[in-house]
Amino acid sequence: DAGITQSPRHKVTETGTPVTLRCHQTENHRYMYWYRQDPGHGLRLIHYSYGVKDTDKGEVSDGYSVSRSKTEDFLLTLESATSSQTSVYFCAISPLTSGRRNEQFFGPGTRLTVL
């Protein structure tokens, strides 16, 4: 158990409203990631963070912003939700320990529906 939680686990919202998803880890890992999962696409990287206040964009970052003010929390914000952002969102952390040093652990996911 990598100690990753996501909140909320499910959310239904309306087009145009702001939405914030939270990822919380208990083990102080440096690297954190947000992915979205859509049918036929696997998981795609939205944003990632390599430390407090250090973030960068992934392949599908349009319409999303992130913040990391503490090591343990990585927030994903949809400033004005659109129906195309209906998806399952996964947070992941990378311990970068020896052995399987590239392994990433995933949170349970957040199912977001934008009506």
Partner 1 sequence: AQKITQTQPGMFVQEKEAVTLDCTYDTSDPSYGLFWYKQPSSGEMIFLIYQGSYDQQNATEGRYSLNFQKARKSANLVISASQLGDSAMYFCAMILDTGRRALTFGSGTRLQVQP
Asked if 54 is part of the footprint of partner 1 (rule: CB under 8 A), the reply reads no
Q: Tell me how far CA of residue 76 lies from CA of 6, 19, 33, 83, 100, in angstroms.
A: 11, 8, 10, 17, 27
Please list every residue from 71 through 100 that binds partner 1, using CB under 8 A: 88, 90, 92, 94, 96, 100
84 three-state secondary structure:
helix
The Cα–Cα gap between 69 and 52 comes to: 6
Asked if 33 is part of the footprint of partner 1 (rule: CB under 8 A), the reply reads yes
Region near partner 1 per CB under 8 A, out of 11-19, 31-39, 68-76, 77-85: 31-39
Asked if 102 is part of the footprint of partner 1 (rule: CB under 8 A), the reply reads yes
The residue count for the chain: 115
Region near partner 1 per CB under 8 A, out of 14-22, 35-43, 67-75, 79-87: 35-43
Q: Tell me how far CA of residue 32 lies from CA of 1, 47, 77, in angstroms.
A: 16, 9, 15
| Residue 98: partners with Cβ closer than 8 Å, 6 or more residues away | none
Binding partner 1 by CB under 8 A: which of 40, 53, 62, 98? 40
Binding partner 1 by CB under 8 A: which of 41, 69, 84, 115? 41
- List of residues contacting partner 1 (CB under 8 A): 31, 33, 35, 40-45, 48, 50, 56, 58, 88, 90, 92, 94, 96, 100, 102-106, 108-109
